[in-house]
Structure 1
């Protein structure tokens, strides 16, 4: 059918018919469709030539009936050779029958750059004195597995002129100027590929005839430190340098005895060296020494006052400087050495403006300077016996003046101690607290100037009132001074009250008063409350208070120590009666009774109507009269009562009055 794809060589026929059977006419023709295949090219590898100038390509092809062409190089069987380095190529494989059936393979040139070549090592860099023969310059080739097997010499680090090839040595030529360094360059080459290393510099230095350094003769106290010499100069103990009998001495060596030293200078590299020599004398005088053991001297005293500013840098006291002479001299005789003290090192070196021997520091700590002079005397040679100080030797050391602080703390002026407590106190037992720690300080507590046994903490809980003091010793700042400070305070005792109450007025009075008396001790001051009412106080506070216009009934008087050391209460009864009651069952004033009589069980109460008829006899401990008689409600009206009772002065009395019942 039309549109069918033909994939192999085939003969096809074309058939045509016109008309209808059986009267139709037909005709037929044929043709051949030939199918040719395209080859397949596959890259195997690329490889650089030994000289790194060309490379080759290996490939495979799917059919032998193929024509191979390449854009560069020589076509071989399964390879392309002699392709210039850096050239990408295109390989074409064509069907030998139908060249339009082909395959194309694009090949990118491989990297055929030079391998890394190790640079030369060990340049000799000779130094040559003027007048000597020119030496060979030399280098070495690193051992295996380094790459490179011959050396080339140039006059420049890159490019330049080739001076000599394939040689480990090079002999420079030309005219050389003393004092000049000439630089040449050596590279290593891998002879097969021609690849080379980076170049290294090899120097040839020409020097003029060397002159040794010179040194002035030295006269000094105690010892002399040899200063550093310039390059190529060395100290020796005898003439001739390394070829003489002396011993080389290093720079900064301390010379402790008088001697003659030599400075030997040499330049160049063997065998082209040149040398020179100078000498000088060192005279060592016996010197004074200040604090020769080098142990820092700190002169410590305790502060003589507590300024309370928390800044120890401004603390000052007077120092007796002469007490430090022994430590400064460290065994040197006071007959031959003198000690003076100075504010600055400049003054000490000049011997000017010595400090007074009793000196008050101006900062804390403060460093001052101590000068020790050798005062050895000798005959002046005049024949008169006169003696002179022949030594100019002295030494300077430092002395630190340190004022150690007193413990900085305060105690309250007073503390309150509750005694004879009954559990109602609202303050804790006092703690006298220094606010200091027991790591840095020790503590001694005293009561009335007597040490309290076992009291050595930073706080104290006093058990009795009195005058207390504490001595605090600073063990943190210094074990030398262990500075002490002290403070005092007073512990005042206070106690809960002993309360007495008294009713000042007669029973059934229209206005009743209660008089309260308290007894306490120490600093006790009291305030008073009736039936949990507001607290009241007398002025002056003399331990008494009078409650006025107090209602009838049972009352509680409470007295408390204003310092918080507890309270006490007392009960009191005031005899009286209600003038009206309303027995209507609302739970309020439903019964009538005498108030404040409960402690008199022998008292008798009688209630009458207005005509004198006895309605009710009550006991002081009863709930009272409910307004009924024989179960009947009594009407609103006035009613009378009598009561027989004991008065406050223990006399038997009778009281009569009336009250109102309302419904």
Structure 2
């Protein structure tokens, strides 16, 4: 019987609900991540998430990342923060990275671009202490600066200060050109998971647990959380989230005492949707391990939880999980003083799980999350390590489940990124709704070794599909768009006529069993390519002893020759090598590719070359030849010692200019050259590793033989000079006349060099300038070609402009100071008086000078000449003896020229003016007043000089 049209349309609308690629990319821990788009899964190093515990991620049906979250910030597929989900930007969600399951991403059952992000906050007791205010607070409700974990645990870094409970936000992937964002009015929609009339419950609101599983109608999803002794199951269907949960009260009671520790632990639904398992790290306030693990029945039609079975008690559990077939249950727990353990129970119908406990030791110091992967394996983080350990066969019981912490046996290396406690949870039903449309496996077998990638090469076609054993309806899609009329189990595909290889697309098959079971989906990510055009090539090993005709070959050295015709690089291909066609057919490749010993001489082996992008491949032959060398040739290659340390970059390929042979490969040792090992990978820019001189070897293969073995000596030429900057001065008084500048080359070696002045493009030894500046000259030794650069700095200078500060009035010990005008005087000056030839001194001060006239000189040290001024120093007699003996008979000012009009006045000690005269009166004062002799005493003078200065003081009259 065929599916009614209305039902078929409903099924097609909801076709994205449980497709197979959503769980293919995980981000967790300290920027760690893995992808299941490769086989085996491989590390992702591009994540921005840094979380202690909670995290969630989601991909599209083809396994392409959409977004991921730590419960309060969402990153898009380009690893940028969504604007409306930025915790530190003020638009964060109400989860917490320190909550066990801070977030869970669930697609809308009927609207393809809509996703729900459910979050559970960490219910911190120091936030509860502050309720309804913002925490943290102490037990008495008093605000405190930081949380008890340490001084660095503050708001908002650690927490926003509130216990926000259980919430959901809606992401619309059609926003921001397909990058998605949280809808403005749909962020942090609160869901009640507590007794609103209980004043204690409202302070905490939820535990740290959340899981999701498909409803029995296949078009709805149950999102389930837990608090104290109740499960809250919220239904999502075509109408969205029903805010009225199905509440199931059951054991155990997880008391609020010692919350937040009691809230810790994972909750998981079985892929079948029929069971729940829950870990409670603690159940009440205690210093010893008192947590437990419980198993429940879940009705995915009604949302009811029942039949609580305690699997273990008095332990500290954390992660829980189910096997893909839902018949085994798992939990991780920490054991004080020893490594964490993994518990396994057989929960098949009719078996008492308490009689089937198996304990698996691990090498992790802490229990962590357990998460089922798309490949059917269960993974657990190695806490604070760089590894996800693996349960390879979780459907098997006991030791057969095959736990491994080795990367060659199922574990996954994170390439240096660090794990913590958490792994991203998913809708558990994702893992049982997949079919393999590439291999065509029976879709009812739930085989987890599902292929999702296929390459189709050189115009070939391929038939995708899988047929359900019982009656079913089928629909094919390409890149999410329905392919009209394709409603059969199989689809033949080939490269579209209007496309060129390489071309990528994705085909999806949805299968709707008419039995009413949930839809199955299969996806094939297809790339149409062309088989690479590769060449036969050869490898020649050279020996000095030709008796054995065997040598060790590095087969990877043939890679460049094989792909020479592709115009791509070696990194674009993968290479395998086989001794025979039979080995190629049986996929028995040569293991020791870098040290393979030939079996005969010559020997042909087969290389299979695969394009890394298209996965298209081709084969070619490599001829292995052992030969002896025909001779050696030694050449030198010189470089200038630019770094002045004997190390330089050499272009080894220039060796061909020094010999009639063309070098092929270069080596650091003669043995490497003979064995063709450790080729120098960058011959065009090889940095020598031995100072000043190093020997390199090269091969010159000819006609598949060894040809000539070359010895290449790397040598150094010294630079012409180690020039220091030269300083030259230009006298502004001479402007616009020029001066000649030239490099510091000895006169007897000028002709050994070539010269170039970049500022005027002259190639002369000297050049003319008349402006200040830095002039660069390149000096190149003709014999070696090595060059040095000298900077010639031309600074302006000029004659000094100066004033003279006089300190006179003494009869014998006067002084003067030369004050150079700044900034009008640019030079560096020295000073002299009386004689322009010197002696010159650095100090501008001259002391102990008798009165008189002085020529003052300032000479520019930079060669711009001597500036001159003439000054007169005035002196005053300190005493006189008017006794007519012809010696000091009168008192006067000395050191003034005859034409000076200085006014001189003399006073007695009472200030009475005794005489006034012009200094040009050489007679001076004779010691009388109105014809009377003045007595022996001190008298005072005031001299007003022509330059405006005044001299005051006293002198003595002695008779």
TM-score normalised by structure 2 residue count: 0.25
Which structure shows the higher strand fraction? 1
Which structure shows the higher helix fraction? 2
TM-score normalised by structure 1 residue count: 0.35
